[in-house]
Chains A and B, each alone.
Chain A
Amino acid sequence: MGNALDLFAAASSEGAWTVSEVTRRARAVIENGLHPMWVRGELTGFKQHKSGHWYFALRDERAQVRCVMFAKYNSRLPTPPTEGLQVFVLARPTMYEERGEFQLTVAELLTSDRDGLWRAAFQKAKANLERDGLLDPARKRPLPRFPRRIAIVTSRDGAALHDVRVVVARRWPLAQLVLVPARVQGAEAENELCRALRLLGRIRFLDVAIVGRGGGSQDDLWTFNSERVARAVADVPVPVVSAVGHETDITLCDLVADVRAPTPSAAAAAATPDRDEVEAHLGHLAERLAQCLERRAERVHERVTRCGERLEGAMGAQLERAAGRLSEHAGRLDALSPLAVLSRGYSIARDAHGHVLRRLADFGPGMTFRLRVTDGEVPARTAER
């Protein structure tokens, strides 16, 4: 092997670097020379690893660079980006030593279209909910007038619980407020909210539920845009008031809930009647009840009076009729009585035996008889011949 090239001699006097050394040095040079920066480009070759890390490349017309976005960072995004999307990434340039590859470690990813990913995820989930009829206005249930038990699904130490408590205590202290605690932001929020919402169906005497949180940034609100959480809201067996504490953004939970309130306080007010108004209503009912009784009593009284009058009227008429009949009869009696004839100047002659003397032949000369006139009898005698 006399002609063999002495590789070690051909290298520098320092000797050759190992691969690990050169990649490590290159990495140090890159990381010292290129600080974290925003990079824009077209996303391509997207792959999600089992571990949850995202791998993709960014390219433009002339070059491309490999990128990794670890699960810790990409979990804040609503959905993986689609192929060909124009994106901005906040990235730290580095060397992936095991492969000797230059790459960007991505901490943040935005689409060039502002909020594009969020909107895309939102639209997709919304379309799914719509397809399943969960956004149908006909599904909206009316809230109960006088809730006995109100559940609030929110975090134990958030402002929402306090606000709801204050309003319920003031407006409708008859209701019992039941907290079903769930974290409303962070990695566990989605699971905890779904679990808490499922639990609602098992609480007895529950009439209405409030789900929500106080105001937060859009990232904080994202849990309420989760399709899973929205479906869990739709499955709650009692009416749900959503209060995600964001005036401008409507979340999927808001769309699925029976009533959407802008804040937790407003949700509590929507779920309860006002005690003073209810008291006034009771007073009004009491008055109407009393009026009913009064009117009824008046009517009875009137009826009794009217009966009395009618009775009198009936009797009077009968009496009058009787009186009329009597005088009629009396008239007839008069007409038949001979006394009435006598009163007109006639008289009746009777003999000693009381026989009425009607004709000439009944009278003899010098015969005594009696004359009945209207007011008595007169002894009389016919002339001697």
Chain B
Amino acid sequence: MGKENKLSAGIKNGFSNIGKNVKEIGVTFTEGDWITKLSFLIMGLGQLIHKQFLRGIIFLAVEVLFIYYMVTFGAEYLVGLFTLGTVETYVDKSGVVPVTIYGDNSFLILLYGIITVFAVIAFVYLWRVNVRQNRQIKIFLEEGKHLPTSKDDLHSLINENFYTTLLALPNIGVFIFIIVPIIFMICVAFTNFDADHQPPGALFSWTGLTNFKNLFSIGSAGFGSTFFTVLGWTLVWAFFATFLNYFLGMGVAILINKKGIKFKKLWRTILVMTIAIPQFVSLLYVYKMFADDGLVNGYLLKWGLIDSYIPFWSNMTYARILIILINVWVGIPYMMLMATGILMNIPEDLYESARIDGANGFQMFMKITLPYMMFITGPYLLTSYTGNLNNFNVIYLLTQGNPKSMNMVGGAGYTDLLITWLYKLTINDTNYRMAAVIGIMVFVVTAVISLVVYRFLPSVKDEEGFQ
């Protein structure tokens, strides 16, 4: 629906925004008095002179700190970002005792380099705000309006700008612990950071698209065939894990809600046990239950139903089916709770009139219950599917991705999802570059599915609708 138009409009918008900004900065400079002009260099000056002490001091402090940071620390790392370090670590054997002389640390250069880039962007933005405020001061004074004092500024933090107060901490947290690390890892995908290039012992450097080529190259050393096997199973797994749980959970909810069924609360409580009990307890126990020498095999042997144990976990097909079934055990109750709540909201007279028209139970389910459920839970299905793509716990606690295969690289097994494979590559192989590439692929898969499905959802929410 005119996506390209939207995009080009967006780009045009962006450029015209920049143009507008530059123009405004120019106007501020030419029309401003000497204080405004000097404020371009000394941030916060205009604010200080016009008795906006809080703003003035903050801007001044930002400028001083930024210059200090860049001179003593930042500039070096910003330059280092281009090469990720040039001085190798080596062992000096000229003395009696060999001494390790540490060179550059690529890891630190990349990390601090990224942080410095953000510092520069933030500084430019604050400088722009500073200029705008100086312009505002001029306009306010000309119009004879009251300039906000420090007290007004502080008060606005619990009133008009209360949201900034509330969002400050979460945003700082997300920036440091989500945004910086993600950008760091995206960068790692374009380097050769792996077991052979581990700082501080060795440098790593930019390698362009090599890792991505490796991911798609089919051959003995390439990751191609393993990647597509794992990706395929990840998609299949998420499909079954989502839809099997969805329909079975709905079915169970309908069964329990049926008129004339007693002890409704008891049935629900029993099922909900799998949500309440921490998964690492229940899943590890179930894993052992189906082990070669576990309870299930033990009883089947004892009753003479089989002659030798069933290799539930070492046979690919058994393992895959079992994982999906055990996930039903864990997942149905959640869907049941949800469906119970929604089913109660379906107006009873819809069923009443259908009954008068002579519809049977199945027809009513297909014509009333299912469409209603699908409409309401569309977004949930989507998040549930993407959540299952990354369902680490169920896979890792049950099989750790096993059974392993000689045909797969990077220690991958037949029940590995992309996410568990990524984990193995990080922990066992310290192959950070390929782990980063796979992480990016997980993102791509999730994003594509979300975008495509979202367009087909009937219930794309009207955000303001409920208010």
Asked if chains A and B come from one complex, the reply is: no
- Please list the residues of chain A having a beta carbon within 8 angstroms of any beta carbon in chain B: none
- Please list the residues of chain B having a beta carbon within 8 angstroms of any beta carbon in chain A: none
